[in-house]
Amino acid sequence: MPKLFEKGSLSLISLSVCLLLNLPALSQQKPERELQAVRQEITKYEKELEQARSRETATSHLITSLDRDIDLTIRYIRNLSHEIGDLTQQINQYDRDIKRLHDEIERLRVYIKKRMVQFYKYERSQRYALLLNQISYARLKTWLKFQKLIFENDRRTFQSLTDKKSELERNKEMLRLEIAERERKMRLRSQEETQLKSTQRKRQDYLSTIRNDVKAIEQHLRQVREAEKEITSLIANAEKERLLGQSRTRKSSDSGKKSEQPFAAQRGRLAWPAQGRVISQFGRHEHPQLKTVTENLGIEIQAVEGAPVVSVGNGRVQAITWQRGRGNIVIISHDDGFYTVYTNLQEILVDVDQDVAGQQKIGTVGQSGSLHGPVLNFQIWKNTQNLNPEDWLS
């Protein structure tokens, strides 16, 4: 029998399942609270707009809050879907385990029944043989003692299998109750999807009112600059940690897993992070409306919303964050102090510290933090210096 059915293991499994099943519900509390807070923000800014106070600033902040609402709702819906899938797999596994146990019990039942019939027939013949002095009483007594041991073992085995089946049935029922709760949340998913579409339409409506609004554009650029500062800070901290641990891990890194080809050697041959058109190049630009000089730390690729975003090379997810003006952000560290940054993502499909391969999907294109529709802002850094991505992409 596999370890799952060892004596005493099911009570521990039951307790573990109870604890594990509570984790998804706990993990949802924070996103739910975030969504509630963001929607309160939206209500506040809409009231300010109705009162015509600081209209440009309120509209800009409102769009940012709508961005956050959209991103959180997408993440919330995705997490619910994954939880339903995981629980369904657990239910299916329990079904298979219960069926296997049931089959074993039935086989044992038939086996014991046959043996009891054989015992009855053989025992009668042995008694007749004893009466006819064909066998000794001591021999018959030994045979009966042996049969008693066999039946006692069968009884324990049968009882053990029956108990385990009952335990699995109880655990299965517990999972079914949890599935019912997740299905209730799936109904919430439908409501959230409706809310999401409404929020997206609302965002488009407000966006159309500020595209030519100088004050709102200035506010947006301030948010972008703040986001860039945060990205710079995250990379600086990552580089500091890398240099600090470099000497400690030199021996292990020499014998550890390495990229097939160093990142630096792939200059001019990296895969594009998304399919689309470059609408803003690297470097300093004069803003057409504000006539002020702005600096793009990377390039902006206009793409279809929901289009895949891939890692341009092998690496590890260094950081995941959300910033006003840039939305969802993923930073990947590569070898020798190279980093790539992907912003304005709609979905994030990786986790912090996860290893990723070149051209592995890490997210999808979104428009959070963008005034120009779906766009991917992509950056490449060497240590703490940002580089022109178009020099590196194939």
At 370-393, the pLDDT tens digits run 877 899 999 999 988 999 999 999
Co-location of 193 and 233 in the same domain: no
Co-location of 253 and 301 in the same domain: yes
CATH code for the domain in which residue 354 is found: 2.70.70.10
Query: Band of the pLDDT at 160, cuts 50, 70, 90?
Result: confident
Least confident of 77-86, 122-131, 224-233: 122-131
Top pLDDT among 296 and 372 is at: 296
pLDDT at position 26 over 90? no
pLDDT at position 361 over 90? yes
Model confidence, pTM: 0.64
Least confident of 16-30, 39-53, 250-264, 347-361: 16-30
pLDDT recorded at residue 312: 95
Co-location of 303 and 201 in the same domain: no
Co-location of 190 and 277 in the same domain: no
At 126-135, the pLDDT tens digits run 555 555 565 5
pLDDT recorded at residue 352: 92
Co-location of 187 and 261 in the same domain: no
Co-location of 197 and 232 in the same domain: no
Give just the sign of the alpha carbon dihedral 233, 237, 240, 246. Answer: negative
Co-location of 160 and 243 in the same domain: no
pLDDT at position 256 over 60? no
Residue 217 maps to a domain: no
Residue 219 maps to a domain: no
pLDDT at position 32 over 90? no
pLDDT recorded at residue 65: 79
pLDDT recorded at residue 260: 66
**Domain interval for residue 361:** 224-391
What CA–CA distance (Å, rounded) separates 174 from 91? 10
Number of structural domains found in the chain: 2
Q: Of 176, 210, 244, which marks where a domain is finished?
A: 210
Co-location of 380 and 234 in the same domain: yes
The three state secondary structure string of the chain is CCHHHCCCHHHHHHHHHHHHHHHHHHHHHHHHHHHHHHHHHHHHHHHHHHCCCCHHHHHHHHHHHHHHHHHHHHHHHHHHHHHHHHHHHHHHHHHHHHHHHHHHHHHHHHHHHHHHHHHHHHHHHHHHHHHCCCCCHHHHHHHHHHHHHHHHHHHHHHHHHHHHHHHHHHHHHHHHHHHHHHHHHHHHHHHHHHHHHHHHHHHHHHHHHHCCCHHHHHHHHHHHHHHHHHHHHHHHHHHHHHHHHHCCCHHHHHHCCCCCCCHHHHCCCECCCCCCEEEECCEEEECCCCCCEEEECCEEEECCCCCEEECCCCEEEEEEEEECCCEEEEEEECHHHEEEEEEEEEEECCCCCCEECCCCEEEEECCCCCCCCCEEEEEEEECCEEECHHHCEC
pLDDT at position 104 over 70? yes
pLDDT recorded at residue 164: 76
Co-location of 75 and 191 in the same domain: yes
Co-location of 153 and 268 in the same domain: no
CA distances from 182 to 88, 92, 179, 193 (A): 10, 16, 5, 16
Residue type, 306: G
> Which residue reads 């999807």 in tokens?
193
Co-location of 264 and 202 in the same domain: no
Query: Band of the pLDDT at 58, cuts 50, 70, 90?
Result: low
Co-location of 142 and 234 in the same domain: no
Query: Band of the pLDDT at 307, cuts 50, 70, 90?
Result: very high
pLDDT at position 340 over 90? yes
Considering 37-46, 138-147, 170-179, 298-307, the range whose residues carry the highest mean pLDDT is: 298-307
Mean pLDDT of 110-132: 66
Question: How does the average pLDDT of the chain come out, rounded?
Answer: 76
Residue 263 maps to a domain: yes
Residue 215 maps to a domain: no
Q: Of 210, 240, 274, which marks where a domain is finished?
A: 210
Least confident of 45-54, 67-76, 353-362: 45-54
- As beta bridge partners, residue 285 has 294
